[in-house]
Chains A and B, each alone.
Chain A
Amino acid sequence: MRLRRPRTASAPPAAPPVLCRWDLDKTYLRSEFDTLRSLLRTAFEKAEDKVDVPGVAELIKGLKAAGERHARDTRVVFVSASPPQIGSAIRKKLALDGVPYDGIVFKDQLAHIRRGKLRNLREHVGFKLAELLRGRVDAPVEARELLFGDDVGVQRVDERVGFPVVAGRLGPERLAPVLRRVHVDPRLADEVLALAPRAVAGDVVVRIFINLERRSPPAAFRLFGPRVVPTFNYFQTAVVLAADGYVDPEDVARVARVLIDGAGYTGRRLANSLDDLVRRGHLSVAAADAMARPLAAVSILTPALTPPSRWRRALLAVRRRVGRSGRRSEQTALSPLAGPLDYDAILDRLAPTAV
Chain B
Amino acid sequence: MPTIAVDAMGGDLAPDEVVKGVAQISLTTDIETVLVGDERRIQAVLEGVSYNPEHIAILHARDAIGMAEEPREAVKRKDASLLVAVRAVADGRADAVVSAGNTGACVLACAKHFRLLRGIRRAALASVFPRGREHPGQDRLALMLDVGATVRCEADELVQFAIMGNAYARRVSKVSSPAIGLLNMGSEEMKGGEALAEAHRRLRELPSINFVGNVEGNELVRGKADVIVCEGLLGNVTLKLFEGISEVLYDLTSAASERRVAWRVGLLLLARGIERLRALTDYTQYGGSPILGFEHLLIKCHGRSAAHAIGNAVKVAAKAVRDRVPAEIADTLATAR
Binds B, one of A82-90, A124-132, A268-276, A344-352: A268-276
A327 part of interface (Cβ distance < 8 Å):
yes
Question: Within A313-341, which residues are at the interface with B (CB < 8 Å)?
Answer: 327-328
Report whether A309 and B91 are in contact in the complex, using a CB–CB cutoff of 8 Å.
yes
Beyond A215-B27, A308-B93, whether A272 also contacts B47 by CB under 8 A is no
Kindly supply a per-residue 1/0 record for chain A positions 278-312, scoring 1 wherever the CB is within 8 Å of any chain B CB and 0 otherwise: 01100000000000000000000000111011001
CB proximity of B113 to chain A, nearest CB, Å: 13
Residues of chain A with a CB closer than 8 A to B94's CB = 305
Report whether A217 and B59 are in contact in the complex, using a CB–CB cutoff of 8 Å.
no
Report whether A217 and B57 are in contact in the complex, using a CB–CB cutoff of 8 Å.
no
- Of A219, A233, A279, A308, which contacts B48 at CB under 8 A? A219
Residue among A276, A306, A327, A328 with max Cβ neighbours from chain B (10 Å): A276
Residue among A219, A265, A312 with max Cβ neighbours from chain B (10 Å): A219
Report whether A273 and B59 are in contact in the complex, using a CB–CB cutoff of 8 Å.
no
Measured between alpha carbons, how far is A304 from B27 in the docked complex, in Å? 18
Residues of chain A with a CB closer than 8 A to B279's CB = none
Report whether B60 and A327 are in contact in the complex, using a CB–CB cutoff of 8 Å.
yes
Beyond A217-B49, A279-B43, A305-B34, whether A232 also contacts B60 by CB under 8 A is no
Measured between alpha carbons, how far is A327 from B43 in the docked complex, in Å? 14
Question: Within B19-57, which residues are at the interface with A (CB < 8 Å)?
Answer: 27, 32, 34, 39, 43, 47-57
Report whether A217 and B48 are in contact in the complex, using a CB–CB cutoff of 8 Å.
yes
Measured between alpha carbons, how far is A348 from B132 in the docked complex, in Å? 54
A120 part of interface (Cβ distance < 8 Å):
no
CB proximity of A329 to chain B, nearest CB, Å: 12
Measured between alpha carbons, how far is A168 from B22 in the docked complex, in Å? 40
CB proximity of A303 to chain B, nearest CB, Å: 9
Residues of chain B with a CB closer than 8 A to A276's CB = 53, 56
Beyond A279-B43, A280-B43, A305-B88, whether A217 also contacts B50 by CB under 8 A is yes
Report whether A232 and B52 are in contact in the complex, using a CB–CB cutoff of 8 Å.
yes
Report whether A232 and B93 are in contact in the complex, using a CB–CB cutoff of 8 Å.
no
Report whether A232 and B47 are in contact in the complex, using a CB–CB cutoff of 8 Å.
no
Beyond A215-B27, A216-B50, A219-B48, whether A279 also contacts B93 by CB under 8 A is no
Report whether A279 and B58 are in contact in the complex, using a CB–CB cutoff of 8 Å.
yes
Interface of B is mostly: mixed
Report whether B39 and A306 are in contact in the complex, using a CB–CB cutoff of 8 Å.
no
Number of A-B contacts (CB under 8 A): 59
Residues of chain B with a CB closer than 8 A to A216's CB = 50
Report whether B54 and A215 are in contact in the complex, using a CB–CB cutoff of 8 Å.
no
CB proximity of A332 to chain B, nearest CB, Å: 15
Residues of chain A with a CB closer than 8 A to B51's CB = 215, 217
A218 part of interface (Cβ distance < 8 Å):
yes
Residue of B nearest to A212 (CB): B50
Residue of A nearest to B92 (CB): A306
Measured between alpha carbons, how far is A196 from B43 in the docked complex, in Å? 38
Measured between alpha carbons, how far is A8 from B323 in the docked complex, in Å? 68
Residues of chain A with a CB closer than 8 A to B55's CB = 269, 272
Residues of chain A at the chain B interface (Cβ within 8 Å): 214-219, 222, 232-233, 265, 268-273, 275-276, 279-280, 304-306, 308-309, 312, 327-328
> Which 3 A/B pairs are nearest by Cβ-Cβ distance?
A276-B53, A269-B54, A304-B57
Could you pull out 28 A-B pairs where Cβ atoms are within 8 angstroms? A214-B50, A215-B27, A215-B52, A216-B50, A217-B47, A217-B51, A219-B48, A222-B47, A232-B54, A265-B54, A268-B32, A269-B54, A270-B54, A272-B54, A272-B56, A275-B53, A275-B57, A276-B53, A279-B43, A279-B58, A280-B43, A305-B34, A305-B59, A305-B94, A306-B92, A309-B91, A327-B60, A328-B60
